[in-house]
Each structure stands twice: as C-alpha cells, then as structure tokens.
C-alpha cells in the first residue's frame, strides 16, 4: 500500500477475488474494476499520467463540492484533485462485503481559503460477493461557526464499452434534461432508449434509481444503481472534442461512456453537525440477444 504523499498512491483491492481493483489516494479515485473473466469494466485513457494537477481521465472521479462549472471553484470541484487518506477509523457501514476500503478527505487551511467550510468526506469502495462495485459517500458538515454549506456531487463513472455506436442506455427515455451543449437549456427526451452518434453532454433530471447500459458487442449490461442522487449525467466528447483534450486519445471516445449518478441541478444543503450518505452501485451482468 503506498503512502498518502505519493503521486502514484494506488491501493490494490480484492486481489484474486474478483479481479484487481485499484483505488488511487489521488482523487479518492477508483480506476480498475474487473469481472470474473478478468475483463476491465472501467475506461481509463491511455494518455492518463496519474499526476496532479489534472484529475485522472477515466475510472470514477468524485465531483465535489461543485458539478461542472456551476460555481466559483474549478470544474467539478476539488475532491478529484486532492490526496485522500486511508480512513483508519471509519464509522460502521452496513455491508456484507468482505472486500472494501475506506478513504477520507478533510480540508487543509489552504483549501478553506477557496471553500470556507469544514467537512469530513468519507468514501467506502466495496466489492460485493457477486462482483458488484459499490461506492458510498458520507459527507459531514463540521463547520464550527454554525453555518450550513451547500454542495453538488457526482460519481463521474467512465464505463468501458466496445463500440459506442452499439451501446444503448435504458431508463432515461422521456425524461427532462439540461443540455450542456445548448447553454443548459431544458428539453425532454423523446422516444426509445438512448443511442449515440455524436457528442452528448446532458443532465437528466429526476432520473430513476436504476439505469441500464447495454453493450451489444460485448453482450454485457451494466446496471447503475443510485440512491439519493436525483440526476444522471450522460457524457461522451466524440471525435472533435476528443482532439482538443490532451489527456484523451483521439479515438478513445468510441470505447467509453460516462453515466454519472449526480446531484447536479439542485445542490445538497447540510447544517453543521449533520451528515448525508449517497450511494452508487454498478453491477455487471450479461444479456442474451433475442
């Protein structure tokens, strides 16, 4: 296990049980999750260098306390750019999983100049016995000045897919969404499951707790479950935007899709001494083509 000051501080989880899962202390960031066949289920860019100041391009970045550019902080907040620590004294998390790791993020004095709030962010990353990956975030307001704070949040999950043009997302049809490519204007999704043939960057509002991502070529379905997170963000930069990103290969857009469990539109307010818990779980299964 690497120390918290190391730039490549990776913690290997669950070796030999369901695959090699990697969690970086940099960003509190899961970068690898494999199924029983040892196939990688998360996308990480080959251009990624795993070093500050940029967040890791792929895996599951934690967006906190801001989502996107909606606020005065850096894009998606600072949590994904900080070194987290191993939480050696986590509070009890009800779980049946034997394979898990607990991380914690607290602000430094320098951090508090940018965002003047004291908090404890605890993240549990657990691998279920069936191979499910489950992330639980607990945020607590430890402000001593009696002030509440407000934050947005997302599990910015990069799923690995064989060919984006063969992927369908079910569960978001007919929902309202804010389109980041159209000045965050509000539209309503029409028709059937989502399919992809160009750049997409949408925040679906009031999304269901279960969303399915079907990869026809791999005959694989990811089932994204979320709890207490009303929104679901769907993002793929496609070819033109990919070329402008220094930490992303020109053709890699074909092999990833971000579906993010989020509280993006309406931030969460926490009073001092109060905490909240938000979960996401992703289950890998297979499906039969009819």
21, 132, 201, 252: which one contacts ligand BG6 (CB under 6 A)? 201
Specify whether the CB–CB gap between 233 and 262 falls below 8 A.
Answer: yes
- Comparison of 14 and 263: residue with beta carbon closer to ligand BG6: 263
Binding mask 143-162 for ligand BG6 (x = CB under 6 A): -------------x------
Q: Of 149 and 253, which CB lies nearer to ligand BG6 in the complex structure?
A: 253
Residue 216 bears catalytic tag = no
* Region of residue 287 (left: phi > 0; alpha: psi -120 to 50; beta: else): beta
Q: Measured from the CB of residue 49, what is the shortest distance to ligand BG6 in angstroms? A: 14
Q: Smallest distance, Å, CB 74 to ligand BG6?
A: 8
Burial string for 162-173 (b: 16+ CB within 10 Å, else e) reads eebeebebbbbe
Q: Which of 233, 254, 263, 270 binds ligand BG6 (CB under 6 A)?
A: 233
Residues 51-90 interacting with ligand BG6 (rule: CB under 6 A): 55, 68, 75-76
Contact 55, 27 (CB under 8 A): yes
57 is in an annotated binding site: yes
**Is 80 flagged in the annotation as binding?**
yes
- Cα gap 28→232, rounded to integer Å: 21
Whether residue 198 contacts residue 182, with contact meaning beta carbons closer than 8 Å, is answered with: no
Is 75 known as a binding-site position? yes
Asked if 189 is an active-site residue, the reply is no
Q: Are 20 and 133 in contact (CB under 8 A)?
A: no
Of 29, 76, 252, 260, catalytic? 260
Site membership for ligand BG6, residue 180 (CB under 6 A) = yes
Backbone angles phi, psi at 190, to 5 degrees: -110, 150
Would you say 76 or 140 has its CB closer to ligand BG6? Answer: 76
3-state SS class at 164: helix
Provide the terminal-to-terminal Cα distance of the chain, rounded to the nearest Å: 46
| 9-19 residues labelled b (16+ CB within 10 A) or e (exposed) | bbbebbeeebb
List the catalytic residue out of 76, 117, 156, 252.
156
DSSP-based three-state secondary structure for 29: strand
In the stretch 241-280, what mask flags binding to ligand BG6 with x, by CB under 6 A? -------------------x--------------------
Return the residues of window 19-58 that contact ligand BG6 according to CB under 6 A: 55
The contacts of residue 137 (CB under 8 Å, 6+ apart) are 62, 64, 121, 122, 123, 153, 155, 277, 278, 279
Q: Which is nearer to ligand BG6, 76 or 82 (CB)?
A: 76
Count of chain residues binding ligand BG6 (CB under 6 A) = 10
Q: Which is nearer to ligand BG6, 113 or 246 (CB)?
A: 246
Q: How far is the CB of 6 from ligand BG6 (least distance, A)?
A: 23
Helix (H) or strand (E) holding 195: none
Residues 204, 172: Cα–Cα separation, whole Å: 7
- Write out the binding residues for substrate: 57, 75, 80
Binding-site ranges for ligand BG6 (CB under 6 A): 55, 68, 75-76, 156, 180, 201, 233, 235, 260
- Write out the binding residues: 57, 75, 80
The residues assigned a catalytic role are: 156, 260
């Amino acid at each position: 296990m690497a120390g918290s000051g190391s730039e490549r501080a990776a913690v290997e989880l669950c070796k030999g049980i369901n695959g090699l899962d990697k969690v970086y202390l940099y960003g509190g960031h899961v970068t690898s999750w494999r199924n029983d066949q040892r196939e990688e289920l998360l996308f990480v860019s080959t251009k990624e260098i795993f070093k500050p100041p940029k967040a890791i391009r792929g895996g599951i970045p934690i967006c906190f306390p801001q989502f996107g550019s909606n606020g005065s902080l850096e894009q998606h907040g600072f949590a994904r750019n900080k070194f987290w620590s191993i939480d050696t004294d986590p509070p009890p998390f009800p779980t049946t999983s034997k394979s898990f790791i607990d991380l914690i993020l607290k602000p430094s004095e320098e951090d508090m100049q940018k965002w003047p709030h004291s908090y404890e962010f605890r993240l549990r990353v657990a691998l279920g016995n069936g191979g499910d990956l489950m992330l639980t975030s607990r945020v607590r307001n430890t402000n001593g000045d009696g002030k509440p704070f407000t934050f947005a949040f997302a599990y910015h999950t990069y799923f690995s897919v064989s060919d984006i043009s063969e992927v369908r997302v079910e569960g978001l049809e007919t929902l309202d969404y804010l389109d980041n490519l159209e000045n965050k204007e509000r539209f309503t999704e029409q028709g059937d499951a989502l399919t992809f043939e160009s750049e997409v960057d949408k925040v679906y509002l009031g999304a269901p707790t279960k969303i399915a991502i079907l990869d026809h070529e791999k005959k694989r379905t990811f089932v994204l479950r979320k709890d207490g997170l009303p929104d679901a963000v769907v993002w793929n930069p496609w070819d033109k935007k990919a070329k402008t990103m220094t930490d992303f290969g020109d053709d890699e857009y074909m092999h990833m899709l971000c579906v993010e469990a989020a509280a993006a539109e309406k931030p969460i307010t926490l009073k001092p001494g109060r905490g909240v818990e938000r979960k996401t779980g992703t289950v890998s299964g297979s499906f039969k083509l009819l």
